[in-house]
Structure 1
Amino acid sequence: MDTVVQWNIRSFRSYFEEQKLLLNRSQSAVVALQECRLGDGQLPLLGYTLLLPQGGSPGDEAALLIRNGTCFSEIDLKTGLHAAAATISLEKTLTVCSLYLPPNSRVSKLSLAELFEQLPKPFLVLGNFNTHSPAWGHSRPDGRGRMLEEFTAENDLIIQNSGEQTFVHSAYHSTSVIDLAVASPSIAAECSWAAHSDLCGRDHFPIFLTLSSHFNVNTNTTFNFKQADWNHFEDLCKLSLDESVADIEQFTSKLLDAARTSIPFHKGTKNKTCVPWFTQECRQALRERKRLKGSILKHLILKIL
């Protein structure tokens, strides 16, 4: 099964090695980031392509990381919101959008509608919405939460969250659910949502959306272009890519069929931790930090009760 990661990382530069480790382990094809705050000259993770909003700067608040070898098409969004999106070709084509809504900004149904209308279906919109509602695990709704409830209901959208907490306030140690995954109906049933058990040094939990086998793609293999039969690929494209192709999803499917027939794959390795510095001491330190964080959260919950 393939995995899409969602994470409000509060600065790409800080805890850079932990980010590499998490993504290396998850072997995710797509990563939706919020509050990435890339510094000038900062390079993205090795093995991933970084997508920022069109015309954006390295400090933009939303970004996508797409694993090299994954076919994608960037979407030029016309919006005043912090958003970056691309259509990704796995076994089935889907659109992934990373979205960040600052807590004090004005967000309307109209601005959300204008954004969502630009996203080819099926889609996942993943981000920090900075809003509260019992519909996704908070005790009381706020104004933005009520607006988002109405917007998703009116547009037949599905919020994938399971109710798990996604954010721990660094000063008050309170928890809340402000990171949401919004799906179009046709893909909602194919996704399972889960928050990571470790904050990985940040105040937002990484979130994993696992696509069912219907969307499965072997992320441990990539096309071996050096051994491609390009003449055969060209012939297959001429036969299948004609006027009968109705949309981008059908075009992508036929193109990938031609590629799989004429281009062999590299043999990949299973999910290895491919960083030489990650020793047994590192593993033990991470386990201890996770244990202590769990103790703190249990203490806070008991205190509230």
Structure 2
Amino acid sequence: MAILCVYSPPSIRFDSAKLKYLIDNIPKPCIVMGDFNAHNVAFGCHSDNNRGRCLYNIIDEFDLCILNDGSPTTVPYPNRQASAIDLALVSSSIAHLCNWYVHDDSMGSYHLPTLLEINIQPSMYDRSPPDPEKYIYSRADWDEYYGISETCFSHLESINDSPINAYNHFIGILNDLRNKTIPKRKLGANTAIRKPVPWWNSKCSDCVAKSTNQH
């Protein structure tokens, strides 16, 4: 799912081609929200303008649903009516899962806050099974750790190899030290495993791994 936040200033020409390009190239389903400064009765405005009609055609072209229910999203001022220029557009496949509403406290702004709730479960990503053993660092033999580490690391600078191989060798030494000097206990079958955050996936894991190798 992708979220696209939009602000289209009223004083600048509405670039429909750019908006269409952005919507076409983000993952689907998607959420498109923001201040479009576009007026259309379909949004809850009192009248249409060219920008509003153009935006409405884009919404139809990309099979988006308008979550706005006609409620104004701006605060009325003398000689200025309230309007619904802050829009929430979503892919039709998730529209039935969304709840949109306007908060009644502008907090001093010309715009009222709009809120969108999506009733979906976070997607789970592929992950290897948890390590059945856990190290007990409180019972580590640090004297032995220091003694072995002096010997192991004394030859590290003399290794003439690529940075990646040198890094892997260094990590191997640390793991070997840990296994020799720190006891372990097995995790029970009912040990709770923290659920991953909903925005983390395998691509994030790959990026972290690549970043670690580069540095």
1:153 aligns with 2:75: no
Counterpart Cα distance in 2 of 1:215 and 1:106: 39
Does residue 86 of structure 2 align to residue 182 of structure 1? no
* SS of the residue 1:135 aligns to: coil
Structure 1 residue ranges (4+ consecutive) displaced by more than 6 angstroms after TM superposition: none
Q: 1:121 aligns with which of 24, 28, 50?
A: 28
Structure 2 residue 139 is matched with structure 1 residue 232 = no
User: TM-score with structure 2 length normalisation?
Assistant: 0.56
Deviation at 1:177, TM superposition (A): 0.7
Paired residues of 2:46 and 2:83 also in contact (CA < 8 A): no
Task: Note the C-alpha offset of 1:170.
Answer: 5.0
Task: Check if 1:264 corresponds to 2:171.
Answer: no
* Match runs of 1:204-243 below 5 Å: 204-212=111-119, 214-215=120-121, 232=131
Q: What percent of counterpart residues are identical?
A: 35
The size of the alignment, in residue pairs, is 134
In structure 2, what is the equivalent of residue 130 of structure 1?
A: 37
More strand by share: 1
Root-mean-square deviation (CA, aligned residues, Å) is 2.8
Equivalent residue letter for 2:116: L
Kindly provide the CA deviation profile for residues 193-221 of structure 1, in whole angstroms up to 9, marking residues without a partner as x. Answer: 10002112211111111112x3479xxxx
SS in 2 for 1:186: coil
Match for 2:23: what amino acid?
F
Q: How does 1:1-40 map to 2 (within 5 A)?
A: none
1:232/1:262 contact within 8 Å kept: no
Deviation at 1:230, TM superposition (A): 8.3
Gaps of 5+ in 1: 1-93, 218-228, 234-260, 266-305
In the TM superposition, residue 171 of structure 1 has moved relative to its aligned partner by 5.7
Which range moved further: 143-152 or 168-177?
Answer: 168-177
Structure-2 change in CA distance of 1:187 and 1:105 (3 Å): same
Contact 2:3–2:32 (8 Å) recurs in 1? yes
The CA deviation at 1:107 is 1.9
Instruction: Give the equivalent residue in structure 1 for 2:46.
Output: 139
How far apart, CA to CA, are the structure 2 residues paired with 1:215 and 1:170?
Answer: 41
Aligned partner (choices 19, 36, 39) of residue 112 of structure 1: 19
Tell me which residue corresponds to 1:201.
Answer: 108
Tell me how far 1:172 sits from its aligned partner: 4.0
TM-score normalised by the chain length of structure 1 = 0.40
Per-residue CA deviation, residues 6-48 of structure 1 (Å, 9 max, x unaligned), is: xxxxxxxxxxxxxxxxxxxxxxxxxxxxxxxxxxxxxxxxxxx
